[in-house]
Amino acid sequence: MAAEVIDGAAFARDLTRELTAKVADLASQGTVPQLAVILVGEDPASQTYVRSKIRAARSVGIRSVEHRLDAAIAQDDLLALIVRLNSDAETDGILIQLPLPPQIDVTKVIRAIDPAKDVDGFHPNNVGQRVTGAGGIVPCTPKGVMLLIRSVVANVEGLDALVIGASNIVGKPMADLLLTAGCTVTTAHIKSVGLPGICRRADIVVVAVGKAGLVRADWIKPGAIVIDVGINRVISPCGQSRLVGDVAFQEAVGVAGAITPVPGGVGPMTIACLMINTVHAAIERRG
């Protein structure tokens, strides 16, 4: 039997609709949430992501202020902008699109953001709070993935979960959220030995490595939930460019119990969760 295809785009639209009503309510009380979006350089993928985030903010009623900076910007100038946004009363959220150019120390930049405005949840304060169960802002992609998983299985306690990919943005926080939800969690990565066998044990697989079609049908336990975070641009034999995930979708859909498509799976949820984090930051900050 073919898997349930999890419609992340529809889920994100529902979340966005609810949020739009909440933002209208806030606006009627004089609070318009404001998101500062910083893009350094001309990376085409980053430009696309930033455009989508700004469009989503506008549709929800969040005011977005874009800061486009030259790829050669000095680190001190970027830090000075962050300091200014930290103390700006109108700014509720600060998003710095990653990756950053090599002259910039990303750790230093993330540490400079006021944790209360860190709507990506990357600041060590937010990471520490999350890991210790003390709250904190949760990174957008793992937050969205948890919502998608729970839309299929409300209670994941005791399930065997595998996260392939160990980035600070997705893999590590994802494993932490699954652990907190009661899963038995394995974190693997592209260099893990015996990955297909590790994967075949998992009831839930989240893949975020950026390698098109890595996860094949024979890696998947029948009935497993498969969440594909990968976004890879490939050129088909007839020369057309298209986006595919880290899972070989056409074959995996025949084995999995539920699976996210690319595009239209995790991507829209990441953006919806960024909007949610921004609105929550505004509410927390402005009381």
Cross-strand pairs, 187 = 163
Site for ligand GUN in 211-270 (CB under 6 A): 270
Q: Is 165 annotated as a binding residue?
A: yes
- Identify the three-state secondary structure at position 73: coil
Instruction: Indicate the residue whose CB is closest to ligand GUN.
Output: 98
Q: Are 59 and 16 in contact (CB under 8 A)?
A: yes
Is 190 within any annotated ligand binding site? Answer: yes
State the nearest-atom distance from the C-beta of 17 to ligand GUN, in Å: 22
Establish whether 166 is an annotated binding residue: yes
Q: Is 120 a catalytic residue?
A: yes
Among 162, 169, 202, 282, binds ligand GUN (CB under 6 A): 169
Burial 24-63 (b: 16+ CB within 10 A, else e): eebeeeebebbbbbbbbbebeebeebbeebbebbeebbbb
Asked if residue 97 binds ligand GUN (CB under 6 A), the reply is yes
Closest CB 177 distance from ligand GUN, rounded Å:
14
The Cα 251–Cα 181 span in angstroms is 29
Asked if residue 98 binds ligand GUN (CB under 6 A), the reply is: yes
| Active-site annotation holds for 53 | yes
Nearest to 178 by CA among 222, 220, 148: 148
95 binds ligand GUN (CB under 6 A): yes
Place of tokens 């890991």: 131
Per CB under 6 A, residues contacting ligand GUN are 95-98, 120, 140-141, 169, 270
Among all residues, which ones are annotated catalytic? 53, 97, 120
Annotated binding residues, written as ranges, equal 165-167, 190, 231
